[in-house]
Structure 1
Amino acid sequence: MSAQEHSTSHILQSLVVNLTIAATKAVAAVFTGSGAMLAEALHSAADCLNQLFLLIGVKQAKRKPDASHPLGYGRATYFWSFLVALMLFTGGGVFSIYEGLHKIGEPEPVTRVWLGIAILGFSLALEGYSTYSNIRELHQRRGSTPFWQYLRTTKDADLVVVFGENSAAVLGLAFALAALVLAAVTGDGRWDGIGSLLIGLVLVAVAIFLATEVKSLLLGESADPVVAEAVQRVVAETHELDRVLSLITLQQGPGEVLVAVKLAFAYKLDIDAACATINAFESRLRQLRPEVRWCFVEPDIPRISSSRAVESGAVHETASGNRP
């Protein structure tokens, strides 16, 4: 199963969870009059729109290359993921901060606290399960890479966005639950406003993190270092090749990498042999790294005194132009 198919399943799961939670939170906000609950309802509603954005991005990224976009539409995922970060910042974070400051300045008593606690507990269980599933998927993909390092370096922007949303939701629900209980126990409605303010700050922080990570991919980020390592490995395994002179890798989308490499040959070959060597290099590279969708190879003149050519007994020209 492709990376995009994995991500789509998690997006759909999060969408179903957030639709359910947004509806229950909205009902609780109406009956309790809690600002923190209202902030959480709006947060979940914004998350639903965010998941729709991600689904659009994944669908557009699957479009085949055409004359106007010869390298395909893989970066569409990054564009829509960046919009999600903006939505999380404005639709969730800024409004929650505003609502929290308003409730602190003009506190109102909360009512039907039991209903709010029950719904928040239910929502926390759903969001917790969704976040657990997301983390399990991240663990499967990261391999031996440390978890937080993987979040910073992975090219699966949609998976990271879903993780950021789910984590913010779990933390926000915990704040909302604590604020509602404190407001009820103390009779001070300002605790409810403080809860909404904290939720807003969490959303803003997550949105800034996501925007920063996705921006790098949107502008054009190099592929994972394992791709460059694979290039070096194939060159080392190929008798006709001497070394890599220059290498550019570019992440074009989830599971789509472009490689442009300049290679020095170990000794001189005719055009047919050189083409066969390049084709074999590309085939072996794609065997090691299937995500390499485009590979452009520029051959360079061989090193006259290549030790590899001498050791192998290959025929090559000397500096004087005579053959041994």
Structure 2
Amino acid sequence: MASHAEGSTKAIFYALGANGGIALAKFAASLYTGSGAMLAEAIHSLADCTNQIFLLIGLKEAKKSANQAHPMGYGRVVYFWAMMVALLLFFVGGAFSVMEGIKHLQHPEPLNSTWVAMVVLGISVVLEAFSLYGAMTEIRKISNGKSFVRWFRETRQSELMVVAGEDIAALAGLTFAFIAVLLTTITGNPLWDACGSILVGILLMIVAIVVIREVKAMVTGESAAPEVHAAIKHFIESQPEVERIINLISMQWGEQVMLAVQAEMRPQPSDTALVDAINRVEAGIQRQWPQVKWCFFEPDHICRNKQTDESELSSYP
């Protein structure tokens, strides 16, 4: 669990360092050349820097100790900050770029020294690729061989998901901006630059919507990652003290996991022996999955006159 948090922090610092340098270079180039696409990219990089700071704030707050008002701690606060990042990416990055492009469509202006813009964009591609490489390196450590798309859909690490999404959007946006400036240079028509700004904005908004959808699922409350949930279920079923699982609910809580287990236990000689058996199972779970911070175990049994909604029980994996 700790290594996951450290990997996310490392990826965020990679992105923050790259985007800080890129933002300064892009602002200087946009002022020098008058390129709307370059200005849109500069605003995008500045928004990314703010996003990384938000993610670092979220990771720090998530480490706060539990208290009476928050008995399960602050682990899920990272989802709030990830949502803030996605909204900032949509409005400050995407919407601003579209509006800037529309303004340049209505009032086109010739660009100056476009080679400066292309050099800055080329350097930015290298720095963004470095940032994305850092994020993908951390993702490969924890993805267990999954494809990136599958990992993105199933991960519960919102901060690492956001960094990867930002870096991919940034590289694609830089490509659009470079092509727009190049076409403007070749044709002498500044409308290409305006169209590039609009395309960059649309791309950022699409990426932001995808990220918002994934973070929304985390905020609502998702189970532990499917392979973790399945492994825990198999572990409980294999314990000699357990007859069968009636119901198992897992919930991701930031870096930690909460479990609620309803199981039919094998007969024990006494109530004390039953409690000891449950404690052994819980200890085994937390020993193998240290991220399981809370485990609520209810011994039960199924009988014919028990008012149980079988369809509801079967809906859980």
- Normalised-by-shorter TM-score class: over 0.9
Q: Which residue of 1 aligns with 2:37?
A: 36
Q: Give the secondary structure class of the aligned counterpart of 2:176.
A: helix
Structure 2 match to 1:158: 159
What number of residue pairs does the alignment pair up? 302
Structure 1 partner of 2:92: 91
Letter in 2 for 1:116: A
| Residue of structure 1 in register with 2:26 after alignment | 25
- Equivalence map 1:253-264=2 (5 Å): 253-254=254-255, 256-264=256-264
Q: Which residue is 2:120 aligned to? A: 119
Q: Secondary structure of the equivalent of 2:16?
A: helix
Structure 2 length-normalised TM: 0.92
Q: CA deviation at 1:282?
A: 0.8
Q: How far off is 1:267 after superposition? A: 1.6
**Deviation of residue 89 (structure 1)?**
0.4
Question: Counterparts of 2:232 and 2:176 in 1: how far apart (Å)?
Answer: 49
TM-score normalised per structure 1 = 0.90
- 2: CA distance, partners of 1:166 / 1:154: 17
Q: Tell me if structure 1 keeps the 8 A contact 2:169–2:207.
A: yes
Residue 187 of structure 1, CA deviation: 0.5
The equivalent of 1:292 in structure 2 is 292
Deviations 1:62-105 (A, max 9, x none): 11111110111011100000000000000010010011111122
- Which residue identity is paired with 2:276? A
How far apart in 2 are the matches of 1:117 and 1:300? 68
Aligned-partner SS, 1:278? helix
Residue deviations 1:23-73 (CA, integer Å, cap 9, x gap)? 000000000000000000000011111111001100011111111101110
RMSD of aligned Cα (Å): 1.4
Distance in 1 between the 2:298 and 2:269 partners?
Answer: 14
Native 8 Å contact 1:98 1:197 kept in 2: yes
* Structure (1 or 2) with the larger CA radius of gyration: 1
| 2:282 counterpart residue number | 282
Corresponding residue for residue 175 of structure 1: 176
2:168, 2:91 → 1: CA distance? 18
The reply to whether residue 266 of structure 1 matches residue 270 of structure 2 is no
- Residues 120-142 of structure 1: CA deviation (Å, up to 9, x unaligned): 11111100111122122212211
Find the aligned partners of 2:172 and 2:235 in 1 and give their Cα distance: 46
2:312 corresponds in structure 1 to none
| Secondary structure, counterpart of 1:238 in structure 2 | coil
SS at the partner of 1:79? helix
Q: Could you say which residue in structure 2 is the equivalent of 1:61?
A: 62
Q: Structure 2: which amino acid aligns with 1:36? A: A
SS at match of 2:110: coil
2:105 is matched with 104
Any conservation in 2 of the 1:89–1:203 contact (CA below 8 Å)? yes
Matches of 1:29 and 1:229 in 2, distance apart?
52
The answer to whether the Cα contact below 8 Å between 1:61 and 1:72 also exists between their aligned partners in 2 is: yes
Pairing 1:211–2:212 present: yes
The one-letter code matched in structure 1 to 2:148 is F
Query: Which position in structure 2 is the counterpart of 1:80?
Result: 81
1:109-167 CA-partner distances (Å, limit 9, x unpaired): 11111111111111111001111221222122111322211100100000010011111
Corresponding position of 1:251: 252
Runs of 4+ in 1 over 4 A off after TM superposition: none
CA shift at 1:231, angstroms? 3.2
Secondary structure at the aligned position of 2:136 is classed as helix
**Distance in 1 of aligned mates of 2:220 and 2:186:** 50
- Cα distance in 2 between the residues matched to 1:67 and 1:9: 32
TM-superposed CA distance for 1:193, in Å, is 0.3
Alpha-carbon contact 1:264-1:299 (below 8 Å) kept:
yes
Q: How far off is 1:174 after superposition? A: 0.8
The one-letter code sitting in structure 2 at the alignment partner of 1:124 is: V
Alignment gaps of 5+ in structure 1 = 304-324
Percent of residue pairs bearing the same amino acid type: 42
C-alpha distance in 2 between matches for 1:89 and 1:103: 20
Unaligned runs of 5+ in 2: 304-317
Q: Give the match for residue 135 of structure 1.
A: 136
Which shows bigger deviation, 137-146 or 33-42?
Answer: 137-146
Q: Is the 8 A contact 1:220 1:250 kept in 2?
A: yes
